[in-house]
Amino acid sequence: MTAIERIISKGQLIALHFGQSDVADSQTAVAMNIVEVRDAAATADDVLAVPGYTLPFDFEIVGVSIRASTARTAGTLTADATIDGTVTGLQAALNATDTTAAYAKQPRESDRGVAGSYVGVKLTTASWTPITADIVVTVWVLTYLEGI
């Protein structure tokens, strides 16, 4: 049955990317951004940040992955996929076992969103080092293309 469902799914797997440079310790469910725009002299108030992707199709979140520019030396970093700002329960973490990359996936139908909802990421760190690490989180969504 799974093979048949995959053939006729009428969907598209899409990777949505989020990034943060110099990830700090003691962040609690901080929204990651898809883009940050600032110049070298900008203050925190001068940053234009976009925290998620609004999808024009119904969708499911099926996976999340993390990649760090520098290996974790202490603590944990957890990335939670969100729909409309609410944590879905799907998360990936960098820790003593997975120091530069990690991923998690889940069965279809676990976390669904409707057209107009937005997908985001909330980042949490605990005793995290190095604070010079840059992080990219990818949320994998399956969009439904019915009606096109």
pLDDT (mean) for 90-96 = 96
- Determine contact, residues 138/16, Cβ cutoff 8 Å: yes
- Select the more confidently predicted residue: 8 or 67: 67
pTM of the model: 0.85
51 φ/ψ sector (left φ>0, alpha ψ -120 to 50, else beta): alpha
> How many CB atoms are located within 10 Å of the residue 14 CB?
16
pLDDT value at residue 5: 52
- Determine contact, residues 3/104, Cβ cutoff 8 Å: no
pLDDT (mean) for 89-106 = 96
- Domains of the chain, start order: 10-144 (2.60.120)
pLDDT > 90 fraction of the chain, expressed in percent and rounded:
61
Of 137, 110, 109, whose CA–CA distance to 122 is shortest?
137
Provide the token pair at 84: 């409309």
- Select the more confidently predicted residue: 39 or 59: 59
What one-character DSSP code corresponds to residue 55?
Answer: -
Tens of pLDDT, residue by residue over 104-117, are: 999 988 999 999 99
Cα–Cα–Cα angle for 99, 133, 73, rounded to 5 degrees? 40
Q: Is the pLDDT of residue 147 over 90?
A: no
Tens of pLDDT, residue by residue over 60-79, are: 999 999 999 999 999 999 99
